[in-house]
Amino acid sequence: MQQLYGSETLVREYLLPLRLIAAEGDAEHADLLLRAARKQVGLGVQESVHVRGKCRLVLDFGRELRGGLRIVLGRAAGSTRVRLRLGESVGEALSEVGQKGSTNDHALRDLTLALPQLSDQQFFDSGFRFACVDFLEETTDLELLAVNAVSVRAPRPQVASFRCSDKEIERIFDTAARTVQLCAGEYIWDGIKRDRLVWVGDLYPEVTALLSLCADDGCVARSLDFVKEQTPLPGWMNGFPMYSMWWIILVEEYYRATGNADYLHAQRGYYEGLMRQIADCIGEDGSFDFGMEFVDWPTHGHADETEGVRSLCRLCAQSGMRLEALYGIRGGAAAAVEQKLMRAGAEVTEKRQIAALKYLAGAALSERERAILTEGGAKGFSTFMSYFLLTALSDTAGEKAALSAMKEYYGGMLSMGATTFWEDFDTEWLRGRVCPVDRLPRAGEKDIHGDFGAFCYTGYRHSLCHGWSAGVVPFLFRRILGIRVEEAGFRKVTVSPRLGGLEYAEAELPVPQGVLRIECRREGGKTKVRVTAPAGTEVCVAEEGA
């Protein structure tokens, strides 16, 4: 079933629950819900769950979904007052609003109403895997015919795949891909439960993942334009100066992936004004004052944050210099920004993501900074900064170390029942006895969803499907397979794989000319590479990767 939504046609699908977690009260034949796929309510004899009095049904649909609930009701002789709750974990589905951060922010997930008899109704549009249906009155006497999840997704085919000799890495790739696909409809959202907004400063992992997975369908350009149109200069996008810097980086990333010159040149006027505005905030001595500083939540307010802003601004200036070359601008503001920022700096004292940004911006790292970046496995990782952390780690400690940290970090979420990746995660959360998302905590256990989180994502408010966690997708393509775009739109590509201990890795990915296929295999101490490229894509292959 399809529904027109703006310029995007969304696909809707009814899904059966895969597991009945609980059936409390008098709900005769409750297991019927696991196989009841009603197409139409009728007046004749129908199999049904006979609900009498107060009753609770808790359902597991098996994986994270964007969408809502469909309730099909037959005849009812008594009260049909019902409370419906959704959750990304069992604990959230059973929580009260306000309990451990549980919320209805951005998308309702807790609703009480009376159901009409002989009805087929749909409720909610949120992110969830679990649902709790509470019949609230002693006088309830009704036929419950079906409870389905209504899965909503964009009809965007995924072209890309990644397969290798490590099945856990394959699972991580597939889960990250599914996460960003759920978050990208007509526009790219942070999450499907909460923060259903276009936060341009959060989009880098989502944009680079989406352009790696799918042919360009306008979603990225719409999202970048939406924020630009909402932010006439001298405003800062989403109220953050650093988010405007990310916009410049993303425009250049989008052009490199797609070769869309019309879009690129349409941004010129706004870009020039914005880069001048950034330059005006930077002194000749390399100091700067943007009115506030922000890189990501785990580093906000920390002493390392200033160096993170400097590094981000340098990356922005470097993207700006490449844009100015394409625009034919001589003596533009971007080079001046880069030169001034290089005149000052500070040593990173603790935060790994800041050390990664500093390295990727081209600054030399001290021995202490290199140790911060390379030691400790996945300790101190963040989902939003995963691409930068893994990329810098692969450059400085090797691909084997980067893949090991990736498996420790993302595998930790999978071990807790994740079917999409989360707004945040810390491997320290796994210390001791911890309950996964698919059941309630037992005595002495912590709830991985309700008992952790920080900043604006504490407890059940924490989004368990957040697109910014998808940075592993571009990492695997760019660093493990070594795919580098030499000419915008994949007209020229270098493939220089470094498999990091993998015996083989192979992938398909979309390019404007068609599909690029890469197969890499270790043979006799060398990496043998086979590439199949569409007409219009020139590929240079290096087979000596480690």
Neighbours of 304 (CB within 10 A): 22
Buried b (16+ CB within 10 A) or exposed e, 205-214: bbbbbbbbbb
Confidence (pLDDT) at 421: 98
The count of other CB atoms within 10 Å of the CB of residue 193 is 29
Q: Residue 45: what pLDDT? A: 67
pTM for this model (two decimals): 0.95
Residue 464 CA to residue 169 CA, distance in Å, equals 19
Q: Decide yes or no: CATH 1.10.10.10 for domain 483-541.
A: no
Q: Are 441 and 90 in contact (CB under 8 A)?
A: no
Q: Mean pLDDT throughout 142-153?
A: 96
Write out the CATH class of domain 2-153: mainly beta
Distances (CA, A) of 515 to 19, 198, 215: 39, 29, 9
What is the arithmetic mean of pLDDT over 363-386? 96
Average pLDDT, the chain: 95
Domain 2-153 identical in fold to domain 161-423+463-480: no
397 phi and psi, to 5 degrees?
-115, -10
Q: Between these two residues, 2 and 512, which has the higher pLDDT value?
A: 512
Higher pLDDT, 33 or 45: 33
* Nearest Cα to Cα of residue 397 among 406, 409, 315, 481: 406
How confident is the model over 443-452, as pLDDT tens digits?
999 999 999 9
pLDDT at 126 over 90: yes
The confidence score (pLDDT) of residue 544 equals: 58
Q: Where are the alpha helices (DSSP H) in 239-304?
A: 241-258, 261-266, 268-279
Structure confidence at residue 541 as a pLDDT band (50, 70, 90): very high
pLDDT of residue 4: 42
Poorest-confidence range of 77-81, 129-133, 461-465, 514-518?
77-81
What per-residue confidence (pLDDT) applies to 2? Answer: 44
Does position 399 have pLDDT exceeding 90, yes or no? yes
Quick one: angle between helices 399-415 and 386-397, nearest 10?
A: 140
How many beta carbons lie within 10 A of that of residue 57, not counting itself?
23
How confident is the model at residue 298, as a pLDDT? 93
pLDDT tens digits, one per residue of 507-526: 999 999 999 999 999 998 88
Q: Identify the pLDDT of residue 127.
A: 97
Class of the CATH-defined domain 161-423+463-480: mainly alpha
Q: Give residue 517's pLDDT.
A: 98
Q: What is the pLDDT of residue 6?
A: 46
Rounded Cα distance, 481 and 504, in Å: 10
Beta strand 492-495 with 538-541 is parallel
Residues sharing a CB contact under 8 Å with residue 15, sequence separation 6 or more, in sequence order: 61, 65, 148, 149, 150, 151
Are the C-beta atoms of residues 99 and 41 closer than 8 Å to each other? no
Residue 32 has pLDDT above 80, yes or no: yes
Least confident range of 9-13, 108-112, 139-143, 516-520: 9-13
Task: State the pairing for strand pair 504-511/514-523.
Answer: antiparallel
pLDDT at 8: 52
Give percent of the chain with pLDDT exceeding 90.
92
The domain locations on the chain are: 2-153, 161-423+463-480, 483-541
The mean pLDDT value for 290-302 works out to 96
Over range 21-26, report the average pLDDT.
97
- State CA 512 to chain mean position distance: 23
Nearest partner of 420 among 108, 157, 209, judged by Cα: 209
Closest CA to 520 of 536, 485, 544, 540: 544
Q: Say if residue 3's pLDDT is above 90.
A: no
Residues in the chain, how many?
546
